[in-house]
């Protein structure tokens, strides 16, 4: 990560490639403030709690997957400040969260229930549908496929004179997809109220950022499409929050999209089907363990005397208990009839699917 830092977000208007603002940072690695805290102490503590909830959820799910009780999943370990900080800048009553698959912590802040998150990871159909009152699209596995949809959603809100804005989350690998460029182009032309949040976590599976792009930053790609791009320290809750907050204000004000590049790091696995020890340099991993966003927030909360160690331990226990309750509740959900899955693929069952279903029924009968 570049060490150049400025604390306050740049004025996002009038940014050109010659005047790319430097990386936004509020907290140094030791959790010391470089600038005024951009939110209340209560909000900072709540942000920390949700980051922790996301971290412990992911750890629990990796463990359950290893026990054969969950399907393949993509943990967001190390990236909690990026997604929670961005979600905190939204108004969950009016604004939409459009995820990829690695931003559960931010989705929890936006109101996604833990129980549904567990059910999603066991493939339960009840989790396939986002609850009606939640302004969120479903998870997206096709890289950058959610971005044109997010722009359509944002453009639609604008046409309806709705005050809502859209946060669309994706990874560094997504910036190499046509969908990203088409979405960014259209958003720029239509001044769609969308914030593109690129979580630059250093990797697209085993592809490094240097192999991904020759651009100096991902944020600068926005300039080609006529809107601002800004890099922030993605492991600094306050930097992400302040940067996205300004982007949200621009979008709500009719000034159009912003690309926010949150520079972070994937501390966990790409997915549970991946083994990063085969390609990730050990020293690189250790460097980023030192920059863990949770640890940085803990240091900050303690040094500002917002909490003491005992309070942090209590929060840890409370989060563990919430997860236990949500997982118990999820397990109480009646298992779906497996034939459900066959019925959801096409309007008319294809001959091949029918053969699969017949074979499945024969096996089921034994």
Ligand X SMILES: Cc1ncc(C[n+]2csc(CCOP(=O)(O)OP(=O)(O)O)c2C)c(N)n1
d(CA 91, CA 135): 10
Q: Is the dihedral of CA 282, 287, 291, 295 positive or negative?
A: positive
d(CA 27, CA 69): 39
Nearer Cβ to ligand X (74/237):
74
- How far are the Cα atoms of 16, 78, 190, 233, 291 from residue 199, in angstroms, in the given order? 22, 11, 24, 10, 16
Nearer Cβ to ligand X (206/350):
206
Among 110, 158, 270, 291, which one carries the catalytic annotation? 270
Tokens of 26: 């509020």
Nearer Cβ to ligand X (32/216):
216
Residues that bind ligand X (CB under 6 A): 102, 141-143, 171-174, 201, 203-205, 266, 270
Closest contact distance (angstroms) between CB of 264 and ligand X is 10
Q: What is the DSSP string of 21-64?
A: PPPB-SB-TTS-BSS--SS-HHHHHHHHHHHHHHHHHHHHHHHH
Residue 275: phi and psi, rounded to 5, are -130, 90
From 298, 288, 229, 195, select the one nearest 24 (Cα to Cα).
229
Closest contact distance (angstroms) between CB of 79 and ligand X is 8
d(CA 337, CA 343): 11
d(CA 70, CA 119): 9
| H helix or E strand, kind and range, residue 183 | helix 178-190
Nearer Cβ to ligand X (171/228):
171
Is residue 56 annotated as a catalytic residue, yes or no? no
Among 279, 354, 355, 359, which one carries the catalytic annotation? 279
Among 250, 266, 291, 300, which one carries the catalytic annotation? 266
Is residue 112 annotated as a catalytic residue, yes or no? no
Closest contact distance (angstroms) between CB of 244 and ligand X is 18
Helix, strand, coil % over all residues of the chain, rounded to 5: 50, 10, 40
Closest contact distance (angstroms) between CB of 128 and ligand X is 18
Is residue 279 annotated as a catalytic residue, yes or no? yes
Nearer Cβ to ligand X (208/349):
208
Closest contact distance (angstroms) between CB of 34 and ligand X is 28
Catalytic residue IDs: 266, 270, 279
């Amino acid at each position: 990560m570049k060490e150049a830092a400025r604390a306050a977000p740049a004025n996002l208007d009038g940014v050109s490639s010659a005047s790319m603002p430097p990386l936004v940072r509020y907290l140094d690695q030791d959790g010391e403030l470089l600038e005024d805290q951009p939110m209340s102490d209560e909000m900072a503590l709540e942000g920390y709690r949700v980051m922790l909830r996301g971290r412990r959820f992911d750890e629990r799910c990796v463990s359950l997957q290893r026990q054969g009780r969950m399907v393949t999943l993509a943990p967001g370990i190390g990236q909690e400040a990026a997604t929670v900080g961005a979600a905190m800048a939204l108004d969950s009553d009016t604004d939409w969260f459009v995820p990829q698959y690695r931003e559960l912590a931010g989705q929890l802040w936006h109101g996604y229930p833990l129980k549904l998150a567990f059910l999603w990871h066991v493939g339960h159909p009840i989790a396939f549908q986002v609850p009606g009152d939640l302004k969120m699209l479903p998870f997206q596995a096709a890289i950058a496929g959610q971005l044109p949809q997010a722009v359509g959603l944002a453009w639609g809100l604008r046409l309806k004179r709705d005050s809502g804005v859209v946060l669309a989350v994706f990874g560094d690998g997504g910036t190499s997809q046509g969908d990203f460029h088409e979405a960014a182009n259209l958003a720029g032309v239509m001044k769609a109220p969308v914030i593109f949040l690129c979580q630059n976590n250093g990797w697209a599976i085993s592809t490094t950022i240097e192999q991904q792009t020759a651009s100096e930053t991902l944020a600068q790609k926005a300039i080609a499409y006529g809107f601002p791009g800004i890099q922030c320290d993605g492991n600094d809750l306050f930097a992400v929050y302040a940067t996205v907050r300004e982007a949200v204000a621009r979008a709500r004000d009719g000034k159009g999209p912003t690309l926010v590049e949150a520079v972070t790091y994937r501390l966990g696995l790409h997915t549970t089907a991946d083994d990063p020890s085969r390609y990730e340099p050990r020293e690189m991993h250790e460097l980023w363990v030192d920059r863990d966003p949770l640890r940085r927030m803990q240091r900050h909360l303690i040094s500002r005397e917002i909490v003491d160690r005992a309070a942090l331990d209590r929060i840890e226990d409370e989060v563990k208990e919430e997860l236990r309750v949500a997982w118990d509740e999820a397990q109480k959900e009646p298992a779906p009839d497996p034939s459900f899955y066959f019925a959801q693929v096409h309007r008319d069952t294809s001959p091949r699917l029918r053969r699969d279903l017949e074979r499945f029924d024969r096996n089921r009968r034994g």
